[in-house]
A and B are shown apart, each in its own frame.
Chain A
Amino acid sequence: MKQFLTFVRKEFAHVLRDRKTLLILFGMPVVQILIFGFALTSEVKNSRVLIVDNANDVASRQLLTKIEASQYFEVDRSVMSPLQMEAAFREGEIKMAIVFPANFNEDLLHQNQAHVQIVTDASDPNTATSLTNYVSSIILDYQASLNQTLSVPLRILPETRFIYNPQLKGVYNYVPGVMALVLMLVCVMMTAVSIVREKETGTMEVLLVSPFKPVLVILSKAVPYLILSLVNVGTILLLSIFVLDLPVAGNLLLLLAESTLFIITCLTLGIFISIKTDSQQVAMLISLMGMLLPTMIFSGFMFPIENMPVPLQIISNIVPSKWYYIIVKAVMIKGLGFSAIWKETLILAGMTLFLFVISLKNFKIRLA
């Protein structure tokens, strides 16, 4: 045990000496949380909208005022021919154009029907759809206000409640995702690369011929990253509680215990990669392409898994971060207890055990 601590201390010295990497390790979660929490939103707003008002009458002006008042748009009024409009779209100056025909008010009053034309830049389909929806609902509202005097029969009114996240804030989705991402990165990549590096520089041989058990040599490399990762979990949780106003709804201890389990899964994965590879560059490539991208894609925090083609949905099951993401969401946001996540916990534990066993097997073969 004392020997083991000596090794752990050496590993800590390595990690703490490289200030630049350390800064990034601790800076990464902070920056990610801030970006996800404050900068990114998939909501569409402040879009530049061109309004071509060929009518310029009471009705069109009233509608215009309503559109201008919306925070979703930055309205620009001018008269343009379709050709000029296309040029404006191509230059990326506008995302949408709303065209009122001449005689808008008159059509509305006398023929009970008037047309509005909406043109969107659908190269970004999400923005296009959202903008069309926004404008349509403004116009429908306006139309309803004209019809106020008439009562509409048989009204079905849906009353919607948003559970867990009434303000529809993005952070509820992102915080668990960032936790999975950061832990994955720190544990898998750092462990793998730092072990392979000792192989590359030859110091690993020195360690392996020491009377110390080889397995413990490897384990001692994982300990500093385990502690660093726990610090990162703490940072993320503190930021999320005090900066993003997203408290831990469930049991904090349970959340920490589950995080530790996930960290250990990642560390075992890192060790496995390091046993299978011989050069730093290859280890980085595998961790980056094999681990990081799948985490981003398949954990479900950026893209809904249920929308993916079935083969990809099946693949997503072998990505550990998917299960961790589900656990964090359940404990942190929904406030559920262990009974709700025992299945996911079991899967993570099983993965860890599996990785550990095959690592051990491969490791022995290498020494023989």
Chain B
Amino acid sequence: MRTILFLLQKEFKQIFRNRAILVMISVMPVVQLMLLPLAANYEVKNINLCVVDHDHSTTSQKLINKITSSGYFKLTGNASSFQAAFPLMESDEADLILEVPQHFERNLVREDEQKLFVAVNAINGTKANLGGAYLGSIIRDYNRDIRLEWNVPGRFNAAPVIDISSSNWFNPLLNYRVFMVPGILAILVTMIGGFLTALNIVKEKEVGTIEQINVTPLRKHHFILGKLIPFWVLGNVVFTLGLLVAWAIYGIVPVGNLIVLYVFVGVYLLAVLGFGLLVSTFCDTQQQAMFIMFFFMMIFILMGGLFTPIDSMPEWAKVISRFNPVSYLISVMRMVILKGSDLHDVRAHLGIVALFAVVLNGWAVLNYKKTS
């Protein structure tokens, strides 16, 4: 037990003497939590719209006004023909081209039906889909408006109508930042814990001090505990810092119990540190460790459900994501912080993450050799 105290003293002194690490644990969470949620906004707005109006009627003018005043679309161009409008799409000045056919107004009255042509730049599929959908709903609204305005016979009202009322629980304003912040916090805790542990041990290898440690009677598990505890503490510090930033900047206060959060993060950190430890046992240089860590982190983050829903992934990818510790933290963070889930609600997640901690650390200990 005393030996561990000596180890801890040494590690903490080294950490606090290392400027790079201090910057990493203090600046990174703040900067990332400030920048990422601002930038990571999937809400589609400011869609650039180019209009080709062959009709030039009041109806077409009103429709265009309605579209541009919706807040989703920005009128960036008017063209006399589709051919003239297309270069705007090529140069990304228009995401969407709306073409109103000639005699639109006249034919709408005469034939009771008229078509509008919409071309969407679909390189970004999501944006295209949403943009198309917004435009569709605005046109539908407009359609209803003119029916009322032009006062068509009441036969329409006789049709049965299903009234849909929807309520959005846990985030009634559909604020996207509220959704991103806990996820980003999860990534931060993971990155700091994993990278620091892996780099730290590999650095001792690279510099040669680990050899000196290996000839001492120091027990294997003492050495590993001596490495884990400081980074476990740091991970919690970063987490706390992140919670404070979330509260100060975004006003996000966990709905659920803080103790549940800390219990889960505590167990989770053990798993992530174990992973860092494991990587370090396979590497000889910091460069290697960093790259291998980065490789896995990238897979973990991309497949962890931070940006895209796990439910939508194909079966094989879902199976992989079950072995991804990050996905559990991201979902628990969101559950507890946004929905107020309690320990009982996250028990399955907790169990799996605890299992990860045991397996990863066990593997790392077995792999860490004092002799060659």
Q: A: which residues have CB within 8 A of B?
A: 18, 20-21, 24-25, 27-28, 31-32, 35-36, 38-48, 86-87, 89-92, 95, 108-109, 112-129, 132-133, 135-136, 139-140, 142-143, 146-147, 150-166, 168-170, 172-173, 185, 193-194, 197, 279-282, 284-285, 288-289, 293, 297-298, 302-304, 306-309, 312, 326, 329-330, 333-334, 336, 340
The 5 closest A-B pairs by CB, nearest first: A122-B168, A168-B125, A39-B317, A162-B122, A123-B338
Given contacts A302-B40, A340-B90, contact A172 B160 (CB under 8 A): no
- Find chain A residues with CB under 8 A from B58 CB: none
Q: In the bound complex, do residue B112 and residue A41 qualify as a contact, i.e. CB atoms below 8 Å apart?
A: no
Q: In the bound complex, do residue B120 and residue A163 qualify as a contact, i.e. CB atoms below 8 Å apart?
A: yes
Q: In the bound complex, do residue A40 and residue B23 qualify as a contact, i.e. CB atoms below 8 Å apart?
A: no
Offer 9 A-B interface pairs, CB within 8 angstroms, sorted by A. A21-B291, A43-B125, A44-B309, A47-B311, A115-B163, A120-B169, A166-B122, A281-B21, A307-B45
Roughly how many angstroms separate A281 CA and B199 CA in the complex, as a whole number? 9
Please tell me if B124 contacts chain A, counting CB pairs below 8 Å.
yes
Q: Mark B3-35, 1 if CB is under 8 A from A, else 0.
A: 000000000000000101101100010011001
Q: In the bound complex, do residue A161 and residue B119 qualify as a contact, i.e. CB atoms below 8 Å apart?
A: yes
- Find chain A residues with CB under 8 A from B18 CB: 281
Q: In the bound complex, do residue A153 and residue B156 qualify as a contact, i.e. CB atoms below 8 Å apart?
A: yes
- Find chain A residues with CB under 8 A from B338 CB: 123
Please tell me if B201 contacts chain A, counting CB pairs below 8 Å.
no
Roughly how many angstroms separate A48 CA and B309 CA in the complex, as a whole number? 12
- Find chain A residues with CB under 8 A from B340 CB: 90
Closest Cβ–Cβ distance, residue B131 to chain A (whole Å): 10
Closest Cβ–Cβ distance, residue A79 to chain B (whole Å): 19
Binds A, one of B138-146, B213-221, B269-277, B362-370: B138-146
Q: In the bound complex, do residue B299 and residue A35 qualify as a contact, i.e. CB atoms below 8 Å apart?
A: yes
- Find chain A residues with CB under 8 A from B132 CB: 160, 162
| CB < 8 Å A-B pair total | 331
Please tell me if B91 contacts chain A, counting CB pairs below 8 Å.
yes
Q: B: which residues have CB within 8 A of A?
A: 18, 20-21, 23-24, 28, 31-32, 35-36, 38-46, 48, 89-92, 108-109, 112-129, 132-133, 135-136, 139, 142-143, 146-147, 150, 152, 155-156, 158-172, 174-176, 178-179, 199, 203, 282-283, 285-288, 290-292, 294-295, 298-299, 302-303, 307-309, 311-314, 317, 320, 331, 334-335, 338-342, 345
Roughly how many angstroms separate A143 CA and B159 CA in the complex, as a whole number? 9
Q: In the bound complex, do residue B292 and residue A122 qualify as a contact, i.e. CB atoms below 8 Å apart?
A: no
